Amino acid sequence: MKNNALNRQILEMSTLLALAESSELYVIQAWDVFGEAYLRSTDMGPYG
């Protein structure tokens, strides 16, 4: 839950900064898929 609060605070602060500077804000997302390494190491996955 701490990470969610920190993430929200970062987004809020960066949004306010972008508005204050009349600039664009780009938000990206990065995540890991559970079992990705297994899928990559077998013929089960699309990259196998």
Rounded CA-CA distance 35/2 in Å is 25
Rounded CA-CA distance 15/31 in Å is 22
Report the pLDDT value the prediction gives residue 48, as an integer from 0 to 100. Answer: 47
**DSSP helix/strand/coil, 34:** coil
Tokens coding 39 = 């899928």
The domain ranges of the chain are 2-41
Report the pLDDT value the prediction gives residue 41, as an integer from 0 to 100. Answer: 76
Rounded CA-CA distance 48/36 in Å is 11
Q: Check: CB of residue 6 under 8 Å from CB of residue 12.
A: no
Report the pLDDT value the prediction gives residue 35, as an integer from 0 to 100. Answer: 81
Residues of the chain with pLDDT under 70: 42-48
Report the pLDDT value the prediction gives residue 33, as an integer from 0 to 100. Answer: 81
Predicted model pTM: 0.58
